[in-house]
Amino acid sequence: MARFTDEELMRKVQEGFIVESEADMTETYKKALVNQLIVQGDTELMSAPAYYMATKDAPSTNTMVSATAIIQDELGHANIAYRLLADLGQDPDALLYDRPPNRFKNPFGFDQPIANWGELVTAHGLYDRAGITLLSDVHRHTSYGPLKRALAKVGMEENFHLRHGEVWMRRLTESGGEARELVQRGVDWMFPMGVEWFGMPDDRKHHNAQLDFKLKGMTNDQLRATWLKAVVSLCEQLGLDVPAHTNPETGEVELEYELPCEWDADERVWLLHTPISWDQVWERWKARGPMNEEFVDSIRRSRAFTEKLLAA
Ligand SMILES: [Fe+2]
Ligand SMILES: [Fe+2]
């Protein structure tokens, strides 16, 4: 028998109550928290093979070490989320090894190949910024104590990833020529990917358990606007083209295309002026991107290899 009803718990967390264990939860709270942690863990986990793919293109040994350190951090972040899920009765082994690849809940951006060093540092500048935007909101607002404490470490490391990305984006754009072009081409496909990262717009969501139970503080549109402000300002400073601009009067970023729009998976380009519905976006997300199976397999391969080695 739960100590509280959903309504009581919603009221209590809005007044500052911190949930410390399952004894304080309702079923609805627990379900929303588990779902949030699976998205968080899967996103951290799948960023590792995505980043690893391009780390092999690092321009020097020390840059490869920095890029690999970021991957190690991401695996640590995934471990934190799965460890918290274990405390809630979930089986991390089953989550990692028994789910079909298309059931992982990472965003569509981490189902895509990251092809070279220019794209990798752009991913750190744009996607790690998305991670910071989402997780710093959770860190500030979450009513779940164990997650709030764990995110202190995650936030500091994410800042290192972001700085690494921004410093390298600047270095490559300032050197001009092909190096600048690599970053611009990365921004061309990763910027709209980042805009979509924050999910459906608020007017499509009538009820949101994560907000009701204070598992996060900001809505999808507020989070998207926060990310846009930071990323568009960075691109403007670096002289990179993005289909958005800062309105000088309001200080808000305005997109120069209608959301959502078509993604040409074969050419890896956005058809910014071919509008589609959010139902079509949902279908595209569900169908997954080209690297989904390979990235999941790359995480699993090492276990099979180690088991074989130990059995020999
Ligand atoms: Fe991370
Ligand atoms: Fe990161």
Q: What is the pLDDT of residue 113?
A: 97
Cα–ligand 2 centroid distance for 209 (angstroms): 26
Cα–ligand 2 centroid distance for 293 (angstroms): 21
Q: How far apart (Å, rounded) are the C-alpha atoms in residues 56 and 67? A: 9
Mean pLDDT to the nearest integer, 90-115: 97
Cα–ligand 2 centroid distance for 269 (angstroms): 24
Per-residue pLDDT tens over the stretch 207-263: 799 999 999 999 999 999 999 999 999 999 999 999 999 999 998 999 999 999 999
Mean pLDDT to the nearest integer, 263-274: 96
Q: How far apart (Å, rounded) are the C-alpha atoms in residues 24 and 17? A: 10
Mean pLDDT to the nearest integer, 156-182: 97
CB 92 within 8 A of CB 86: yes
Q: What is the pLDDT of residue 306?
A: 87
Is 60 exceeded by the pLDDT of residue 61?
yes
CB 143 within 8 A of CB 17: yes
Q: What is the pLDDT of residue 305?
A: 84
Is pLDDT larger for residue 109 or for residue 305? 109
Per-residue pLDDT tens over the stretch 108-149: 999 999 999 999 999 999 999 999 999 999 999 999 999 999
Q: What is the pLDDT of residue 303?
A: 86
Cα–ligand 2 centroid distance for 100 (angstroms): 24
Burial 186-204 (b: 16+ CB within 10 A, else e): bbbbbbbbbbbbbbeeeee
Mean pLDDT to the nearest integer, 5-13: 98
Q: What is the pLDDT of residue 304?
A: 82
Mean pLDDT to the nearest integer, 151-176: 97
Cα–ligand 1 centroid distance for 177 (angstroms): 31
Q: What is the pLDDT of residue 308?
A: 87
The first and second tokens of residue 101, run together, are 């690849």
Average pLDDT, the chain: 96
Q: What is the pLDDT of residue 37?
A: 98
Q: How far apart (Å, rounded) are the C-alpha atoms in residues 227 and 147? A: 22
- Which listed ligand is nearest to 75 at the C-alpha? 1
Q: How far apart (Å, rounded) are the C-alpha atoms in residues 52 and 124? A: 12
CB 135 within 8 A of CB 158: yes
Cα–ligand 1 centroid distance for 174 (angstroms): 27
Is 70 exceeded by the pLDDT of residue 155?
yes
Cα–ligand 1 centroid distance for 266 (angstroms): 28
Q: What is the pLDDT of residue 307?
A: 87
Per-residue pLDDT tens over the stretch 175-217: 999 999 999 999 999 999 999 999 999 998 767 999 999 999 9
Cα–ligand 1 centroid distance for 274 (angstroms): 33
Is 60 exceeded by the pLDDT of residue 1?
no
pTM attached to this predicted model: 0.96
Q: How far apart (Å, rounded) are the C-alpha atoms in residues 150 and 157? A: 12
Q: What is the pLDDT of residue 205?
A: 74
- Which listed ligand is nearest to 78 at the C-alpha? 1
